[in-house]
Structure 1
Amino acid sequence: MPTTVHIRNANSADLVPMTDLLNSLFSIEKDFSADGSRQMKGLRMLLGNPRARILVAEEHDEVVGMCTGQIVISTAEGGPSILVEDVVVRSDRQGEGIGSMLMEAILGFAVENRATRLQLLADCENTPALKFYNKIGWNKTSMICLRKTNA
């Protein structure tokens, strides 16, 4: 793990670098498109939500990665679950353990909130991400994601 990188809660000063990270993430996902104003709006909503957490990986006052998590109520679990989204590390810093640090920290958010399960969606063609999640102990399920837009 990189010793000069630390994980902290995001703040409004991080909005621009987080939006840049989301732009890089959404540029490789078929189901989403990069739109800085939308991403910024969503990030602001998360920052103000006590049932959500945005974590950033920072090194020398520079954001090099991020992860978001939101508390949802699971009827299957009979309690809180964490929906993890937006796990992204700057491309030139991938493979250094920063993603693992972020995922460990979001697990801490789950523990704080007595969540019994964490879940996330990953692009089925993003092989590096799928390998990463498998390596850190995340399991595939038999579920698929469906969506309907209302815009």
Structure 2
Amino acid sequence: MADEEIVRVRQAKLEDVPQIVGLLEVLFTIEADFCIDKEKQTRGVELLLADKGACALVAVLQDKVVGLITIQRLISTAEGGYVGLIEDVVVDGQSRKKGIGKQLEKAACSWALEKGLLRLQLLADSSNSSALNFYSRLGWKETNLVALRKR
């Protein structure tokens, strides 16, 4: 791979917010439970970047943000300590099938280990078979839990 094709994973910065919001648009067209609202997504990303218990990692190719993974720290009474919730995982359409998602997941797991998190968990749209297959290939296991929400 030529140097310009090398993908680098790094912490997201405030100047990345517009590109991150663009990636969230891609994600939210796949997930039936969420709607695109650039104002809300911008506010959410800015809050995430300011949160010391959270991490937003981006994959960058030629100065363009092409992937995103976010992790938020929670307290688990079951584990008796801190765990992580992976909230967003997305790679732009033209950059898929190049190992970028795997790089992001690996970096997120490293961050979690550094922070002493005892477990990572994530939610995926039940109809998104490609995402479910991706997570399965990386060793993620389904649980007996069902996600519920109330507004």
Per the alignment, residue 74 of structure 1 pairs with: 76
Matched, 1:56 2:58: yes
Q: Give per-residue Cα distances to partners, 1:29-74, cap 9 Å, x unaligned.
A: 1111111110000000001000000000001111010000011001
Unaligned runs of 5+ in 1: none
Matched, 1:123 2:125: yes
How far apart are 1:85 and its partner, in Å?
1.2
Root mean square deviation, CA, Å? 1.3
In the alignment of these two chains, the number of paired residues is 149
Per the alignment, residue 33 of structure 2 pairs with: 31
Q: Give per-residue Cα distances to partners, 1:114-134, cap 9 Å, x unaligned.
A: 111000000000011000000
Per the alignment, residue 9 of structure 2 pairs with: 7
Secondary structure (helix, strand or coil) at the match of 1:81 reads strand
- State the alpha-carbon separation in 1 of the partners of residues 21 and 74 from structure 2: 24
1:91-102 correspondence to structure 2 within 5 Å: 91-102=93-104
- State the alpha-carbon separation in 2 of the partners of residues 30 and 5 from structure 1: 29
How far apart are 1:112 and its partner, in Å?
1.1
TM-score under structure 2 normalisation? 0.96
TM-score under structure 1 normalisation? 0.96
Which 4+ runs in 1 deviate beyond 6 A? none
Unaligned runs of 5+ in 2: none
